[in-house]
Amino acid sequence: MKYIIVTGGVMSGLGKGITTASVGRNLKNRGYNVTAIKIDPYINIDAGTMSPFQHGEVYVLKDGGEVDLDLGNYERFLDTELTRDHNLTTGKIYQSVISKERRGEYLGKTVQIIPHITNEIKDRIRKVSAKSGADICLIEVGGTVGDIESMPFLEAVRQMHREEAEEDIAFIHVTLVILDAQKDQKTKPIQHSVKELRELGLSPDVIVARCNEPLLEKTRSKISLFCDVPVEAVISAHDSNDIYEVPLQMENQGLTEYLMSKLNLSTISMDDSWEKMVERMHNAKTEIKVGVVGKYTHLEDSYISINEALKHAAIECGCCLNVDWINSEKFDEDPDAVKMVADYDGLLIPGGFGERGVEGKILAIRYARENNIPFLGLCLGMQLSVVEFARNVVGLDGANSTEFDEDTPYPVIDILPEQKNIVDMGATMRLGDYEAVLREGSLAEKIYGSQNIIERHRHRYEVNPNFVERIEAKGMIFSGKNKNRMEIAEIPDHRFFFASQFHPEFRSRPGKPSSPFKAFMESMLEGKQ
């Protein structure tokens, strides 16, 4: 197994995740099977209880693992499926070690950071990479060098460097080049960051320098000299128009060849599909304008998978995508403002939790339905489309979800009886892959080209089966089901009205767009033409 460790310096949010994913993509293009592990130093067991306002999107894996959004980038760039074990957190590591201590597995020894915590980290990295069957495992260490919570993980990878063969492990350090008042590129933060890394016993093989503009040759030479890496191993990670350009940017600077030489690898085969995909993206002509009405819109990372799935569909359809993020509370405060939805080629209502902004979303759904605007609803977006239809078409005045109104006379969205007595919040959630059976002749079957599909879920409430017959009698059908759970709602008489209880955005890939997103884009494009 070959390991590539990615660390960060100076500040967080520099793009370690995109760097990791881009390096992996380029190695995959050379014929290698690549996997990735994300280390998050926080004490949370996983990202499931973390607010999108603080940490961005909670990404859901096929096995129901709720993880950091970087794993979504790994899956999209590498076109692979990961598991919860590919996300290591301080909480997971300490929980495991303490459980072993309680069971007496350490035979009376004093349990310490070294060797017990570091051994647990190394064991997990090696087991996960081996189980994946990959040739190369990329490991992103979250946070920055110098963070106290990252120390055990950095010590663990230092030990791995000593234990693995020299040709089996490489270190990439992602750090920052800043501009002074005269717009000169300053390398001092990089020098201090590498110095701090060396004090921990680690030396980078590659330095990826984040900057606004391409690195000047004199800047590159200075970084090489002061940080003791070859000039060809100093990579300029300057701002790109799109994250999908980053693998090409790194490839063109020779990073892949340098890493393969370091790891004693040779090219097995060449795949240029990524380059062709980026070329299609650049050649898009027709602009499609999508309105996304949500509640976390001030932080785009909260909806990163939705944005990427829209982009994948747009690339496939030859469209130039323009997304506006609209705060649903705007419609709560001013219902007349919902008329702005008419300015868009299509409307998307994403998932979310909590009552804030819900009525604004319902107003937007009603406007899209009544004005025949293409509509895509995801998770809560589906539930609210059912609530809106029940209120305004079926005539169930006061219909709602019991998440927002426990005393509603018409609980069209509710927790199913078999889940109501479960106390553990996580246990009431439907997480990860579930199958759905699609109705023959439905829009859903046409979109997927199959009557059996698998998609990822993250929700607690369901469409109440007691109201299905009354709703379907008025024209909204539930064309996808998992036993007594409604998976897809559609309105056949509408131009395009498709809502899913699941999250199709989690399985969308560049070059392989999610089927509902592609159909949504095609509907908007057809209307445009």
Is 505 considered catalytic here? yes
Helices (H) and strands (E) in the chain, counts: 18, 23
Tokens of 193: 């960051």
Distance CA(152)–CA(150), nearest Å, equals 6
Radius of gyration of the chain (CA): 25
- Distance between alpha carbon 298 and the CA centroid of its chain, in Å? 17
CA 101 to mean position of chain CA atoms: 35
Question: Cβ–Cβ contacts within 10 Å for residue 300, how many?
Answer: 15
The letter for the amino acid at 18 is I
Q: Which of 140, 445, 462, 505 is the catalytic position?
A: 505
For residue 364 the two structure tokens come to 């937007």
Check if the beta carbon of residue 289 is closer than 8 Å to that of residue 342: no
Angle at 26 between CA 20 and CA 29, to 5 degrees: 140
Identity of the amino acid at 456: R
Active site residue 379: yes
**Cβ atoms of residues 235 and 209 within 8 Å:** yes
Q: Of the residues 86, 457, 459, 503, which is catalytic?
A: 503
* Alpha carbons 352 and 380: distance in angstroms, whole number: 6
Residue 392 burial (CB count, 10 A)? 16
Phi/psi for 325 (5° steps) reads -95, 115
Catalytic residue among 66, 251, 379, 494: 379
Q: At what angle do helices 151-163 and 118-132 cross, to 10 degrees?
A: 60
Task: Please list the active-site residues.
Answer: 379, 503, 505
